[in-house]
Amino acid sequence: MSAAMAQEAALGKNRNARLPPEVNRALYVRNLPFNITADEMYDIFGKYGAIRQIRLGDKRDTRGTAYVVYEDIYDAKNAVDHLSGFNVANRYLIVLYYNPAKTAKKRDAAKEEAEIRALQAKFGVDGASDRL
């Protein structure tokens, strides 16, 4: 059996394995060097499969982060397995599966409560149960 055939057999075997529920095609990458370019990102992440999109954080609070979307879920899993902890310009990458539910929960509950109170005051609502 040639090396290429053995590699294909190993890939096929892994593709039949059940993936954990958090695995998806979109990855969230943290701890990137601020001066990394899109081309460098494609060089690093492209080794693990076809990439649909890379979005680098460009604002003050998103610098050093990126979203990487692969064409295939198995390529994304392979990238997470191999690039978590990878050293780029003396920074160790943190590569996670993108989880929109977790991102939404990060909003500050106190801030939301303050916004609700402000709206209640503005519209003269006391927050008690609605009466007809």
Greater pLDDT, 3 or 90: 90
Is-contact 45 82, C-beta < 8 A?
no
Q: Report if residue 116 sits inside a domain.
A: no
Strand partners, 55: 67
Range of the domain at 81: 3-101
Q: How many domains does the chain have?
A: 1
| CATH assignment of the domain containing 30 | 3.30.70.330
Q: Report if residue 88 sits inside a domain.
A: yes
Q: Report if residue 35 sits inside a domain.
A: yes
Could you read off the pLDDT of 15-61 as tens digits, one per residue?
Answer: 666 777 778 899 999 999 999 999 999 999 999 999 999 999 999 88
Distance CA 35, CA 40 (A): 10
Q: Report if residue 33 sits inside a domain.
A: yes
Could you read off the pLDDT of 77-122 as tens digits, one per residue?
Answer: 999 999 999 999 999 999 999 987 766 666 566 777 888 888 888 8
